[in-house]
Structure formats: C-alpha cells, structure tokens
Structure 1
Amino acid sequence: MALDLYAGIPVTDYTVALKWYERLLGSPPTFVASDTEAVWELAEHRSVFIEQLPEHAGHAMHTVFVDDLDALVAQVAERGLDPAKRETYSNGVRKVTYRDPDGNEIGFGGAPL
C-alpha cells in the first residue's frame, strides 16, 4: 500500500511562521503553494505545510521520527531554536518538542540510545 502524508499547521502570521519553520527544518520550503501556504517535503510523499489560518492557529501537534535525534537537535540549535520540552518514555524512546510562535507543537522522536 502506498502512503502519502500531507500534514498541515495553521498559523496566524505567514511571514513570521515561514521564517521560523525555515530555521526549524533547515531549508526554504520545497514549494510555495500560494501567498499564504508553504510546503516542505520531509521525505518522498511525506510533507508538512504551513497555512495562514488565524482562527485555527496554535492547535497542531505533529511528531516526526528521525534516525539521529541528537544530530537533528544540534542542527536546529545552530539555527537558534531550542526544544520547549524533552521527554524519554518508559520504553526508552526519546522526543523533543518545539513550539512555533502560535504554540503549534512539532516534535521529533528517536529510538533509545
């Protein structure tokens, strides 16, 4: 079965959010869908997008699992962002959560050390 993911993040101010997500994700968007929507392809057929929808902003909660969580956190820190929360679950899985200016949560998870 083929799998595609297109996960949305509503934001209040597109320009502010665009800059923040470029810092978090480490690149400009893969493409700009409109004047108020930008898309990053994280992996083939797996994308996250921001869209200016102030009435819905601040309620997104997404987690992306990565191969090297420590490297990702270090790279994001070099771009000036620190996690709002760090967790280690009872099974050893680790998660760091970042919050954008609207309070949307973008988490990154990684396998136990």
Structure 2
Amino acid sequence: MGHERALTWYEELFGSPPTYVVSETEALWEVAEHGAVFVERRPERATGHPMHVLFVGDLDERAAAISARGIEPAASETYDNGVRKFLYRDPEGNEIGIGGLPA
C-alpha cells in the first residue's frame, strides 16, 4: 500500500487528518490524552504486519463512528472479564485493535 493510501485509510479510521504531519513520510494522530498512533513509510518493513491495540473508554461510540465512515471490523472478541475488542485491518493486513469495557 502506498503511503498516501495508508494515510487515507487511517484518516477514515480515526475520522480526521493527521494531527501532525512530521515529514513527507511520517504522520501522527493523537487518539487520546497522552496517546498517539504514528504512521511512517518504511518500505523495507512493509511486510511486517504489526498489530496494535488501543484501549478506549467510549468503545461503542468509536466503533459506530468508524462504521459510519465505511470501515467495518474484520473481527470482534469478548473476553471472560467483559472487555471487548474490535479488530481492523488496513489494505496491507496491518492490524489495529480498539478495545474497551462494556457500556
């Protein structure tokens, strides 16, 4: 996936353009107080398929907003302790989970 395509996907996921465009190859979204997601174009690592998880207090609202922007979770899980997680995959297969406690 090209860097511009990745930025577009993450803009749709987070519902806004990057908070900071660091350079032509780097962008950052502040997604919570003291929490950010950094996207960097690094072709030498493009096949790494990392997995990240954000834990939020407003899981249902965020998931609904993401769906309204046209991105649906690839999977969802509910753990024995009631924590839920939605798993999203970008077009390259990189995973970002968004989890939280039940509402």
TM-score, scaled to structure 2: 0.91
- Specify the alignment match of 1:14 in structure 2: 3
- Specify the alignment match of 2:52 in structure 1: 62
Gaps of at least 5 residues in structure 1 are 1-11
Preserved CA contact (<8 Å) 1:60 1:104: yes
Residue 33 in structure 1 maps to residue 9 in structure 2: no
- Specify the alignment match of 1:23 in structure 2: 12
Matching residue within 60, 66, 70 for 1:80 = 70
Matching residue within 61, 83, 86 for 1:96 = 86
Percent identical pairs in the alignment equals 60
State the one-letter code of the partner of 1:47. Answer: A
State the one-letter code of the partner of 1:80. Answer: G
CA distance in 2, matches of 1:66, 1:99: 18
CA distance in 1, matches of 2:83, 2:20: 32
Q: CA shift at 1:103, angstroms? A: 0.9
Q: CA shift at 1:56, angstroms? A: 1.5
Q: CA shift at 1:40, angstroms? A: 0.6
State the one-letter code of the partner of 1:43. Answer: A
Question: Residue 22 of structure 1 aligns to a residue in which SS?
Answer: helix
Q: CA shift at 1:71, angstroms? A: 1.0
Question: Residue 63 of structure 1 aligns to a residue in which SS?
Answer: strand
